Amino acid sequence: MHYPHKLSRIKKLRKVGFRARMKTSKGRAIVNRQRRIGRAVKTR
């Protein structure tokens, strides 16, 4: 059985983490959009 390629946590964070988002203007737009939405509150 073959296992899927395990991406390192550091590499993933460098690609899609907070610092990576803040580097580009589009990334900052994503962060600000998420901030406007706020944290999702789970209600049933």
Q: Which residues 6+ apart lie within 8 Å of 31 measured at CB?
A: 18, 21, 22
Q: In whole angstroms, how far apart are CA 26 and each of 5, 13, 23, 29?
A: 29, 17, 9, 5
Range of the domain at 30: 9-39
Is residue 3 one of the residues assigned to a domain? no
Is residue 4 one of the residues assigned to a domain? no
In one-letter notation, the amino acid at residue 35 is R
Residues 1-44: tens digit of each pLDDT: 788 888 899 999 999 999 999 999 999 999 999 899 888 777 77
- Number of domains composing the chain: 1
Residue 36's nearest CA partner among 28, 14, 26 is 28
pLDDT at 5: 86
Is residue 29 one of the residues assigned to a domain? yes
pLDDT at 10: 94
Is residue 18 one of the residues assigned to a domain? yes
